Amino acid sequence: MSSLSDKQNEADHRQIDINKVGVKGIRYPLLVLDRDNGSQSTVAELGMYVDLPRQYRGTHMSRFLEVLNEHGNEFHIDSISMLLAAIQKRLKARVAHIEVEFPYFIKKRAPVSRQTGLMDYTIRIEATLDGDKIDIVTLISAGVTTLCPCSKAISQHGAHNQRGKVTVSFRADKHIWFEEIIEIIELSASGSLYSLLKRVDEKYVTEQAFETPVFVEDVARNVAVKLNSRSEISWYRVEAENMESIHSHNAYACVEKSMPVFSQQVPQC
């Protein structure tokens, strides 16, 4: 039997490096640390990539899945560094990238009735291994309630409010619980969201929002102030967006702390 041709390793004449090439949209079981329960099983969507030098026509896509499957039937979030190093080695690449996005669930009590319901939050981790230097950015998104200070000031009755979304991206020098960032976000708005509210709870959260009006700018700054007090956070970006209830557009604000250099951690396979 004749050997199969390896088209990916053919020379390419266009002389253009590719920054990221690989596979995305992979759904895979994921185990993450949970502050209250020890761990939590969820399902992640992954992207796995490497850089491709100009002399090669393509990369070997199947090798990404081989590396992932070698880590077992459940991917652990704390194994990202080892997975990056394995990708780098298997595909003979200088740079390896992993993107992991997943829903994270927290049991949350209503403020008055104390009935519980599960709230879901979106977590995304973007990690890059460049040579022996690793960079990991965590993104956490949470919904909030905001009530407009201007509307409250000029209106004889009530004020317009809306659901907002806040995304915090950060680099940290040590472990931070997802719950800690979510709490910072929720405490920075007019109120937080709940999956289950009885009438007594609706009364409470409505009145609380009315007594705590914030612009989208206030939310972004409130989160930034709290993050500034965390010495382990070396960089962050706060993005706040209000899905305006009386406008056809959304309101947006962003605050970013200066960017640090790559850390010098070397993962071990």
Residues above pLDDT 70, as percent of the chain: 92
What does 129-156 look like in DSSP terms, one character per residue? EETTEEEEEEEEEEEEEEE-HHHHHH-S
| Torsion over CA: 250, 255, 260, 265 (sign) | negative
- pLDDT beyond 60 at 203: yes
Q: Quick one: tokens of 176?
A: 């931070």
Whether 86 and 115 map to the same domain: the answer is no
Q: What is the pLDDT of residue 8?
A: 64
Bridge partners for 49 per DSSP: 22, 97
Whether 248 and 141 map to the same domain: the answer is yes
Whether 36 and 120 map to the same domain: the answer is no
Q: What is the pLDDT of residue 76?
A: 80
Domain boundary among 80, 99, 118: 99
Q: What is the pLDDT of residue 54?
A: 79
Whether 157 and 245 map to the same domain: the answer is yes
DSSP tag of 79: G
Pairing of strands 116-130, 133-147: antiparallel
- pLDDT beyond 60 at 1: no
Q: Quick one: tokens of 173?
A: 């020098």
Domain boundary among 48, 76, 99: 99
Average pLDDT of the residues of the chain: 90
Domain boundary among 68, 99, 130: 99
Of 43, 53, 215, 47, whose CA–CA distance to 144 is shortest? 215
Q: What is the pLDDT of residue 2?
A: 58
For the stretch 125-134, pLDDT in tens is: 999 999 999 9
Q: What is the pLDDT of residue 213?
A: 96
Domain that holds residue 26: 13-99
For the stretch 102-127, pLDDT in tens is: 999 999 999 999 999 999 999 999 99
Whether 67 and 133 map to the same domain: the answer is no
What distances in angstroms separate CA 98 from CA 47, 136, 165, 176, one per listed residue?
A: 6, 9, 25, 20
191 domain-assigned: yes
- pLDDT beyond 70 at 266: no
205 domain-assigned: yes
Whether 153 and 23 map to the same domain: the answer is no
What is the CATH number for 194?
A: 3.10.270.10
- pLDDT beyond 90 at 83: yes
Whether 156 and 228 map to the same domain: the answer is yes
Q: What is the pLDDT of residue 267?
A: 45
Whether 71 and 127 map to the same domain: the answer is no
